[in-house]
Structure 1
Amino acid sequence: MTTELKYVPVLKWKQGEQKAVEGLQIPTKQSMTPLIEIPQIDWDYENDCPKKTIDEHLSKTGESLYNSWGITEPVFIDLIYIDPSERMQDGSHPLSYVLQEGRNRGINLIPVTDPNRDSAYQLEVMKANQTDQNGVCIRLKEAHFNNLQHHINQLLQQQNISPNEVDLVIDYEYASTENKNRTSIFLKGVLDTIPYLHDWRSLTLTGTSFPADLGSIDSNSIGEIERSEWLIWKDVVTTHSLKRSLNFGDYGISNPAPFEADPRFINMSANIRYTADDKYIIFKGRVIKRFGGAQYFQIAQQVVAHHEYYGAGFSAGDYYINEVANNNDGPGNATSWRKAGTNHHLTLVITELSNWISPSTSSSLHPVTP
């Protein structure tokens, strides 16, 4: 069992998130273990077929991991959104391909699994541990919380692995602000039922309050969303007698659900998602298709003028916001603003955890200078 707190952000591995991680300073990266979800293959709605083959879809995965992460600290890798029937052109399993791409570039990948993965996927996870001796990440969601001991024992036996070789992630996914207290009580009950509680290599609680869309925020306004996942984690570690470290995880500035809508009919508004102490601040403009991307200059100025802006020196994302506010860069697009917002968010969470001392473990991270 490890006692050092780690941040476990669940990241949808698209360009915005990749570039956000790439822009982090090395001490910040060393204080986190990202759980990277390889996204599903984009759909060609005009021709009603996938845009790429699985080989094309995964061809740059190793390169992106190396360019964005590039250090020896481990990363959890999850292919949950890749269709189980997919195989590479040479017949190999997509998970096998991705793990080999990591090995080829010196990236320390730990495969993620859960009780619902098919036998072929589970076999690749087991083979990876036999090859790399890196252990396994087991990610449990609400569907697995009933009969938890059965699910866990079955996986341990299937993988021929001990709890001390496993990073266990309790992922409650989305929890609305209104259900914050109920979720916290529920999760304490879940933690009480986890077998081998003190034997797991690491234990992480992850989820988010970030909604699937920003429809609740009016155009041309500044709205707020409570960071319930951060408040839930703090409540759990201060009121539950775990007597072990409990890592914090979230979904960055995203909702857990994958984006599946036809982009031709999406009327996205310009927005900057900015994380503050116990909340997300949403700086929202108007529909980009109608009013253009130049409105990002004004929105960035609103961020910089806000009393909870952390300053241009806080992170690469904050520097970019300041540059756009001063017309030295930008206006940017949805990808560049996801990069900026995510980079700021990751840096902020590491800073928060750096200053956190858990009553149950009396341990903390070393302070990190963004």
Structure 2
Amino acid sequence: MISRDKYAPILKGKYGEFTALSKLDDEIKQNIIPIVDLLQFVPQVVKDPKKKEKTFDDYVNTIIKYFSDKWDKERLIYIDCYMTDDEGLLENGIHPAKHLINNLIEKEFNVLPVFNNVVSLEYKQSIKELTEKIGKGTGLRIYDITVERINNEIEESLSFLNLAPNQIDLIIDLRSLIDSDTQNKIEFVTDIFDNLRYLSRWRSVVLAGGNFPIDLTDLAPNEVHALERKAWSVWNGLINTAELERIPAFSDYAISHPKMSEFESDYPNASASIRYTHKENFYVYRGRGTRQRGFEQFYDISETLINSPHFYSIEHCKGCEFIYECGNDKTSTGNLMKWRWVGTAHHITVVVNQLRQFFRDLSA
């Protein structure tokens, strides 16, 4: 269950994001229910003839190890494998979602699958079988929706799963909001909630979305860019303007785009940039490509951030602590994976604290 006062970050199943989860303070972990998206497998070119090329099976087993190393078994976490739907079966003949979740269940992780409305029949059947095996319901993620279609999608999913609404955590995913007008999207979501079937009967209701760019190529280097946190704006707008029968839990994609960037690989020429969440905006402190200019750029970028009004404090979270040490002590530049966990851990901490304050004010 994802109660309305909990934050449900949708995170990519990558090392940086899992490390971010492991770096959170316990009081922050207690207030989040993560949803992990297993990414499409991208084969890497192996130049060393002595090294074996990694297979999709290797990739799935790596994700299992991330869970074992980075997440507490007793804490609830959801897994959605829709991006792997085109990969086919593993070498053992099992669907990757079933293999991954079965392994985690055997290791006694508190994990639930997510049923998705845009996947193959084979994938849906795998999730149904997992749901029946676990016996604790499932997440139901609906996107690519219109007000007219959402109830049809819901009825079809309930019928396939043979579950009642009180066994399901409904996740309404708006996906990327980059090109959306915030006010128009608030009105759209209000219309959805005014017409949503079984609103009071779902075990949980979650509203998700994100608007971080898929990459930073459109942002000029050596500048600080402010990007509205549209998912946060839409959720707040819905809560503050609509007469809701039920307040949905908040979810977003942290500092990532919903899709996997075509530039993502083990060795991208990403810029030395810090993605830093603030009250209403993301601030992107963007440098230049790390291949040409190196990681030493992070020293000056971090120093600029810690001397800006955007910086919270060294005590805010482990991410802010690393930023402060990088900009002040200049002992380590980190690498791209480290900066992903730094930004993600900071973002999660910001959102949890914002939700705490919101519900304190609501009950005052």
From the superposition, tell whether residues 216 and 88 of structure 1 become closer, same or farther in structure 2 (CA, over 3 Å).
closer
1:339 and 2:341 aligned: yes
Match of 1:170 in 2: 172
2:94 to 92, 95, 98: 92
Q: Return the alpha-carbon distance in structure 1 between the equivalents of residues 110 and 269 of structure 2.
A: 39
What letter corresponds to residue 222 of structure 1 in structure 2? Answer: V
SS at match of 2:40: coil
Q: Is the 8 A contact 1:205 1:248 kept in 2?
A: yes
Match of 1:11 in 2: 11
Match of 2:40 in 1: 40
Match of 2:277 in 1: 275
CA offset digits 1:43-98 (Å, max 9, x no partner): 34699xxx632211111222211322214231110101113452122212211111
Match of 2:187 in 1: 185
Query: How many residue pairs end up in the alignment?
Result: 360
From the superposition, tell whether residues 74 and 266 of structure 1 become closer, same or farther in structure 2 (CA, over 3 Å).
closer
1:24 and 2:42 aligned: no
CA apart distance, 1:175: 1.1
Match of 2:133 in 1: 131
SS at match of 2:67: helix
Segments of structure 1 that go 5 or more residues without pairing to the other structure are 365-370
CA offset digits 1:210-229 (Å, max 9, x no partner): 12222343211111111111
CA offset digits 1:109-155 (Å, max 9, x no partner): 11111222222222222222222122111111124654222211111
CA apart distance, 1:363: 5.4
From the superposition, tell whether residues 297 and 239 of structure 1 become closer, same or farther in structure 2 (CA, over 3 Å).
same
Match of 2:50 in 1: none
CA offset digits 1:306-339 (Å, max 9, x no partner): 1121111110100111111123542112111111
1:75 and 2:59 aligned: no
CA offset digits 1:257-311 (Å, max 9, x no partner): 2122376996432100100010011111122221111111111111111112111
What letter corresponds to residue 357 of structure 1 in structure 2? Answer: F
Superposition pairs for residues 261-272 of structure 1, below 5 Å? 261=263, 267-272=269-274
Q: Is the 8 A contact 2:14 2:63 kept in 1?
A: no
10-19 or 116-125, larger mean C-alpha shift: 116-125
Q: Return the alpha-carbon distance in structure 1 between the equivalents of residues 199 and 244 of structure 2.
A: 8
Q: Return the alpha-carbon distance in structure 2 between the equivalents of residues 37 and 308 of structure 1.
A: 30
Match of 1:368 in 2: none
SS at match of 1:33: coil
What letter corresponds to residue 25 of structure 1 in structure 2? Answer: D
Superposition pairs for residues 227-238 of structure 1, below 5 Å? 227-238=229-240
Q: Return the alpha-carbon distance in structure 2 between the equivalents of residues 186 and 170 of structure 1.
A: 12
Q: Is the 8 A contact 1:144 1:151 kept in 2?
A: no
Match of 1:52 in 2: 54
Q: Is the 8 A contact 1:84 1:121 kept in 2?
A: no
1:206 to 194, 205, 208: 208
Match of 2:163 in 1: 161
CA apart distance, 1:358: 8.3
Q: Is the 8 A contact 1:5 1:245 kept in 2?
A: no
From the superposition, tell whether residues 172 and 56 of structure 1 become closer, same or farther in structure 2 (CA, over 3 Å).
same
Match of 1:367 in 2: none
CA offset digits 1:221-266 (Å, max 9, x no partner): 1111111111110010111122223100110101112122376996
What letter corresponds to residue 41 of structure 1 in structure 2? Answer: F
1:148 and 2:150 aligned: yes
CA apart distance, 1:168: 0.5
Q: Is the 8 A contact 1:212 1:255 kept in 2?
A: yes
Q: Return the alpha-carbon distance in structure 2 between the equivalents of residues 238 and 358 of structure 1.
A: 15
2:64 to 55, 62, 65: 62
Q: Return the alpha-carbon distance in structure 2 between the equivalents of residues 203 and 354 of structure 1.
A: 18
Match of 2:324 in 1: 322
Q: Return the alpha-carbon distance in structure 1 between the equivalents of residues 100 and 46 of structure 2.
A: 29
Match of 2:311 in 1: 309
128-137 or 320-329, larger mean C-alpha shift: 320-329
SS at match of 1:225: strand
Q: Is the 8 A contact 1:3 1:363 kept in 2?
A: no
